[in-house]
Amino acid sequence: MSIQNKVALVTGAASGIGRAAAFLLAREGADVLIADSDAAGAQNVCDAIVAQGGRAGWAVCDLGEADQIRSLVGRALAQYERIDVLVHAAGICRAAPLLDLSDEQWRETLRINLDGTFFLTRDVGRAMAARGSGTMILLTSDRGVYGSIDYAHYAASKGGMIALTRSLALALGKHGVTVNGLNPGMTDTPLARGANPLSWDAKVAADVLGKASLPEEIAQTILFLAGTGGAYTTGQILGTRIRHGQ
Ligand SMILES: NC(=O)c1ccc[n+]([C@@H]2O[C@H](COP(=O)([O-])OP(=O)(O)OC[C@H]3O[C@@H](n4cnc5c(N)ncnc54)[C@H](O)[C@@H]3O)[C@@H](O)[C@H]2O)c1
């Protein structure tokens, strides 16, 4: 199943995994709408895709805010008439030991990573269900499965996203819509490098493959789920690494 001429909304596409996914989907012939809170970053990615001959637009949006998400989805539908693929890669990951976590740190991470995911997938899900087709790929995390001492708020948000992924798959399957989560494992992005309290090199050495993934490699799995895989796979949480404890 090709993604040629599909409409893809890619969040968090100013950086990292979302950025790599936006480039790859555009290269494969999709119309890509980039959404991020970083306006300059989103515009740069959009300009670079267009300069390479791809089709892209961009929108600034705080993906933790329901009203901004509603406007984003409304704009996408007004401009493209449909959303075939949603790649939701916007998210934050900020270290704080569990017992030192403030109310504000907890709420901010849950607001962006979990509340925003619900608002976005509900609004996009309504449009996809009404049309009878679509696929969603949500960037989740191994920490949402295994927990974390220094990222309990992040782990809780990602665990919530995993449960939401499965609920969306159950609710939307009969409407022709598939929904999958992707735990990318340690991937070389500003988020991963900035969030690690241990040195990056020590984390890489501890990895079972002894290396971090590249965003471009994770984008290949996103492409698979956006196309062929998304036709018959739903409610799955794909990972990239076997785990041997935190
Ligand atoms: N990199 C990793 O090792 C790793 C591991 C597990 C999960 N993930 C998940 O993958 C996704 C992408 O992460 P990444 O590593 O590419 O990070 P990144 O920091 O490179 O990119 C995240 C993007 O999200 C945007 N963003 C943050 N808050 C936002 C908001 N409120 N509204 C709109 N945009 C917002 C940022 O501006 C940025 O462009 C995240 O959900 C992250 O939790 C990453």
Alpha carbons within 13 angstroms on the beta-carbon side of residue 149 total 4
Per the domain annotation, does 46 fall within a domain? yes
Shortest-distance Cα residue to atom 10 of ligand 1 = 139
Domain count, the chain: 1
Residue with tokens 């979302």: 18
Q: What is the pLDDT of residue 167?
A: 99
Per the domain annotation, does 111 fall within a domain? no
Which residues constitute the domain of residue 65? Answer: 7-101+121-238
pLDDT digit string (tens) for 73-103?
999 999 999 999 999 999 999 999 999 999 9
Q: Is 181 helix (H, G, I), strand (E, B) or coil?
A: strand
Measure 174 CA to ligand 1 centroid, in angstroms.
30
Average pLDDT over residues 165-184: 98
- Element containing residue 179 per DSSP (H, E): strand 177-182
> Catalytic residues, which ones?
154
Q: What is the pLDDT of residue 1?
A: 72
8 A C-beta contact, residue 160 and residue 114: yes
Closest atom, ligand 1, to C-alpha of 62: 32
The average confidence (pLDDT) of the chain is: 96
Q: Which of 191, 211, 225 to mutate to test the pocket of ligand 1 (most atoms within 8 A of CB)?
A: 191
- Calpha distance 231→133 (Å, rounded): 10
Kindly tell me if the per-residue pLDDT of 50 is higher than 70.
Answer: yes
Kindly tell me if the per-residue pLDDT of 58 is higher than 90.
Answer: yes
pLDDT digit string (tens) for 111-137?
999 999 999 999 999 999 999 999 999
Q: What is the pLDDT of residue 36?
A: 98
Measure 140 CA to ligand 1 centroid, in angstroms.
10
- Calpha distance 65→175 (Å, rounded): 26
CATH code where residue 190 lies: 3.40.50.720
Handedness of CA 216, 221, 222, 226 (dihedral sign): positive
